[in-house]
Amino acid sequence: MAVLGIESTAHTFGAGICEKGRILANRKIMYPIWDKGLIPAKVAEFHAANTYKVIRGALTEAGLGVADISGIGYTKGPGLGPCLSVGMVAAKTIAVKNDIPLFPVNHAVGHIEVTKQAFHVKDPLVLYVSGGNSQIVALSDERFRHYMVYGETLDVGIGNMLDSFARAAGILPAWGSEVARAALGGSYIKMPYTVKGMDFTFTGLLTFATRALENNSVRDVAYSMQETAFSMLCEATERALLLSKKKDIVVCGGVAQSDRLKQMLGSISRENRANLFAATNDLNADNGAMIALVAEKMQDSGQSYAVDDCGISQRYRLDSVKITW
Ligand code: FE2
């Protein structure tokens, strides 16, 4: 029997299907951001309009019907409330109508587990970098299994910083991959660099970079901001690697699609004789397959939830999730 996963954290509405850890389908649709950023109510409206099409598309891609689904996972959080609600209601509707168990999934755990599954990595140090989050985590000991946070952003996620800068600089579409394109061939301007132990902050850097646009080229500022932010992440990750004594590093989440970040992390990995793993871009972008994968692990390890206990949590922290598999 297969498991359906529904993802609706932010700009993407996704539906994926897994069976025994294998991805059978992964369909998604993305709200067209361009230069506006995300207005939660508008994005939720977009998701609601596309719910049936995306879920039906995933079932068709997998060659399955609802009768073949043994569990339904949806993203409980963290994310934008109105968007999360659309996914939850879609999952509940199918689950209740067809008497299928429901599983509330943490979005970050989805990104981590789908990468671990892809490379059969058991116990890595994880750099999770996305729009709203930037954290360095690893599994705690065997008795109290959950992801323990070694370090994290003390203000905004790195993805949000890159998107905000793109809007200020007139880079379109306003997101990180276009900032990377704008940065090609740039020269370095000294920028604020803030790492405290294994924590870091990005708003000072964003303010400085935005002001620097007045007297410098977009290319030089984009390059300098990106190099500074990624160096901060790498320093904190290297410190956590030495402290945790892990042998593998996983980088995951939307910003893990950055070639420059992976190149810099690759240097750290080689210098410390560690292995670096990053999933393909379609799995680092938000997607339903990672939610299905975690829901299947939750189901197989004996978790169960009453429908009325299945809600959403905009600030659902990764380190509050019990890992039972
Ligand atoms: Fe994500």
What does the pLDDT look like over 218-235, one tens digit per residue?
999 999 999 999 999 999
- Could you give the number of structural domains in the chain? 2
Q: Do 263 and 309 share a structural domain?
A: no
The verdict on residue 55 lying in a domain is yes
The verdict on residue 228 lying in a domain is yes
Q: Do 221 and 159 share a structural domain?
A: yes
Residue 142's pLDDT band (cuts 50, 70, 90): low
Interval 14-62: pLDDT, tens: 999 999 999 999 999 999 887 777 899 999 999 999 999 999 999 999 9
CA distance 241 to 127: 10
Rounded to the nearest angstrom, the distance between the alpha carbon of 287 and the centre of ligand 1 is 8
Cis, peptide link before residue 124, omega less than 30° from 0 = no
Helices 288-300 and 107-119, axial angle in degrees (round to 10): 80
Q: Do 167 and 92 share a structural domain?
A: no
Q: Do 130 and 69 share a structural domain?
A: no
Q: Do 267 and 218 share a structural domain?
A: yes
The residues placing their C-beta within 5 Å of ligand 1, an ion, are 130, 286
Tokens at 53, concatenated: 């099409």
**What's the domain range around 143?**
121-281
Q: Do 237 and 155 share a structural domain?
A: yes
The verdict on residue 63 lying in a domain is yes
Rounded to the nearest angstrom, the distance between the alpha carbon of 215 and the centre of ligand 1 is 34
Q: Do 206 and 69 share a structural domain?
A: no
Q: Do 210 and 99 share a structural domain?
A: no
| CA nearest neighbour of 112 among 129, 131, 89, 90 | 129
The verdict on residue 115 lying in a domain is no
The verdict on residue 288 lying in a domain is yes
pLDDT at residue 143 greater than cutoff 80 = no
Rounded to the nearest angstrom, the distance between the alpha carbon of 256 and the centre of ligand 1 is 10
Rounded to the nearest angstrom, the distance between the alpha carbon of 80 and the centre of ligand 1 is 12
The verdict on residue 44 lying in a domain is yes
